[in-house]
């Protein structure tokens, strides 16, 4: 083939246009994501403080400090514990229950019924995290709605279930808020995934005498794998980045240590205490935790395409 023809082949033309449309996004990502990450990495190797004019290179001292010292009573190890507890306690039930709700919703015959439940579940996701946390703060107040409902359900009177004062209950409270806020979002994602499965497969399965459970387990779930992987990674990453709920709770008197997630520790270390170098090191550690867990997710899920 002549060289000129090769140069202007259709694939190359398409590739060129693809680049043209992708460049603005890449620039945006470079400016607002890539640059801050590099900046944080560089700062993590310094002793930079918010009010100090100068800083000096200290190598890995910040990282060593975070894993060996107390950080003013709020250690990185405690933050990692709090973050992982929250993540495991929230994202696993969220993925499972949102899948179940999506499957049940798809069984509804009338589209209007389905629409109503979709809106009802999705509405909390529209609220800002701060507003959601504020609403639940009022409800978790000792004299609030949650204690009253809990007393009614448990057939007790005047019992304080310590939603904000007991360590375990406090962690559970933050999980409830997060779960309530985001369950609808992941239900919608699962509904989208379920809707993309060709109905003829279910028809074929019915003809072959497959039970509902067998159909779900052997057809629905394998074909939904890409969506499950997407949802579980998104849910996990969201949980690892949680901040507003924990921050609002601690600002209103709840103990900090049980729910001192990494993002909140970064905030207090960097913004309240002005230790920008140390806070940057924490954010890099969080970045690597997210990277490792995402890779592990991909490895475990074995996202081979399922052919049908």
When binding is defined by CB under 8 A, the residue of 254, 262, 281, 282 that contacts other proteins is: 254
**Selected range binding other proteins among 100-108, 112-120, 163-171, 299-307, rule: CB under 8 A:** 163-171
User: Which residue's CB is nearer to other proteins, number 150 or number 210?
Assistant: 150
**Beta carbons of 64 and 150 less than 8 angstroms apart:** no
Give the Cα separation of 192 and 80 in Å (integer): 34
Residues 165-224 that bind other proteins (CB under 8 A): 165-167
Q: Say how far residue 150 (Cα) sits from the centre of its chain.
A: 28
Task: Decide: is 85 part of the binding site for other proteins (CB under 8 A).
Answer: no
Comparing C-alpha atoms, which of 208, 67, 181, 189 is closest to residue 125?
Answer: 181
Q: Which residues contact 123 (CB under 8 A, 6 or more apart)?
A: 184
User: Which residue's CB is nearer to other proteins, number 3 or number 143?
Assistant: 143
Task: Decide: is 130 part of the binding site for other proteins (CB under 8 A).
Answer: no
Task: Give the SS3 label for residue 293.
Answer: helix
Task: Decide: is 155 part of the binding site for other proteins (CB under 8 A).
Answer: no
Residues 135-154 that bind other proteins (CB under 8 A): 141-143, 147, 151
- Please state at what angle helix 76-107 crosses helix 225-240, rounded to 10 degrees: 140
Comparing C-alpha atoms, which of 224, 142, 239 is closest to residue 181?
Answer: 239
Comparing C-alpha atoms, which of 232, 33, 281, 263 is closest to residue 129?
Answer: 263
Give the Cα separation of 236 and 296 in Å (integer): 12
Closest CB 65 distance from other proteins, rounded Å: 10
Residues 261-290 that bind other proteins (CB under 8 A): 268, 271-274, 276
User: Which residue's CB is nearer to other proteins, number 252 or number 303?
Assistant: 252
Residues 40-69 that bind other proteins (CB under 8 A): 49-53, 69
The tokens for 277 are: 């170098």
Closest CB 150 distance from other proteins, rounded Å: 11
Task: Decide: is 36 part of the binding site for other proteins (CB under 8 A).
Answer: no
Residues 109-128 that bind other proteins (CB under 8 A): none
Give the Cα separation of 61 and 192 in Å (integer): 48
Task: Decide: is 32 part of the binding site for other proteins (CB under 8 A).
Answer: no
Closest CB 71 distance from other proteins, rounded Å: 9
Give strand pairing partners of 46: 57
User: Which residue's CB is nearer to other proteins, number 47 or number 215?
Assistant: 47
User: Which residue's CB is nearer to other proteins, number 170 or number 231?
Assistant: 170
When binding is defined by CB under 8 A, the residue of 255, 289, 290, 293 that contacts other proteins is: 255
When binding is defined by CB under 8 A, the residue of 76, 101, 164, 230 that contacts other proteins is: 164
**Beta carbons of 138 and 204 less than 8 angstroms apart:** no
CA angle (161 as vertex; 160, 166 as ends), nearest 5: 110
Site size toward other proteins (CB under 8 A) is 39
């962690």: which residue's tokens? 171
Closest CB 13 distance from other proteins, rounded Å: 45
- Please state at what angle helix 167-195 crosses helix 225-240, rounded to 10 degrees: 150
When binding is defined by CB under 8 A, the residue of 39, 70, 154, 211 that contacts other proteins is: 70
Give the Cα separation of 18 and 12 in Å (integer): 10
Residues that bind other proteins (CB under 8 A): 49-53, 69-70, 72-74, 141-143, 147, 151, 156-160, 162, 164-167, 251-258, 268, 271-274, 276
């Amino acid at each position: 083939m002549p060289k000129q023809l090769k140069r202007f082949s259709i694939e190359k033309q398409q590739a060129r246009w693809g680049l043209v449309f992708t460049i603005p996004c890449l620039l945006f990502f470079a400016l607002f994501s890539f640059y801050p990450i590099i900046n944080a990495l560089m700062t993590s190797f310094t002793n930079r403080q918010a009010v100090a004019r100068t800083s000096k290179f200290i190598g890995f001292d910040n990282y060593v400090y975070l894993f060996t010292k107390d950080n003013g009573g709020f250690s990185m190890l405690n933050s990692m514990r709090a973050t992982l507890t929250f993540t495991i306690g929230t994202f696993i039930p969220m993925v499972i229950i949102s899948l179940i709700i999506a499957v049940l919703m798809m069984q509804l015959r009338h589209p209007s019924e389905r629409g109503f439940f979709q809106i009802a579940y999705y509405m909390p996701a529209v609220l800002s995290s701060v507003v959601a946390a504020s609403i639940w703060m009022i409800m978790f107040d000792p004299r609030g709605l949650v204690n009253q409902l809990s007393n009614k359900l448990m057939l007790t009177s005047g019992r304080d279930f310590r939603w904000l004062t007991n360590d375990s209950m406090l962690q559970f409270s933050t999980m409830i808020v997060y779960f309530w806020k985001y369950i609808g979002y992941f239900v919608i994602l699962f509904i989208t995934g379920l809707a993309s499965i060709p109905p003829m497969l279910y028809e074929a399965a019915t003809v072959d005498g497959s039970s509902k459970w067998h159909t779900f387990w052997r057809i629905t779930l394998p074909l939904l794998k890409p969506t499950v992987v997407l949802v579980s990674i998104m849910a996990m990453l969201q949980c690892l980045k949680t901040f507003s709920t924990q921050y609002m709770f601690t600002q209103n008197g709840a103990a900090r240590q049980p729910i001192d997630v990494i993002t909140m520790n970064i905030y207090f270390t960097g913004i309240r205490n002005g230790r920008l170098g140390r806070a940057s090191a924490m954010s890099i550690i969080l970045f690597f935790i997210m990277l490792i867990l995402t890779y592990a997710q991909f490895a475990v899920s074995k996202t081979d395409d399922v052919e049908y």
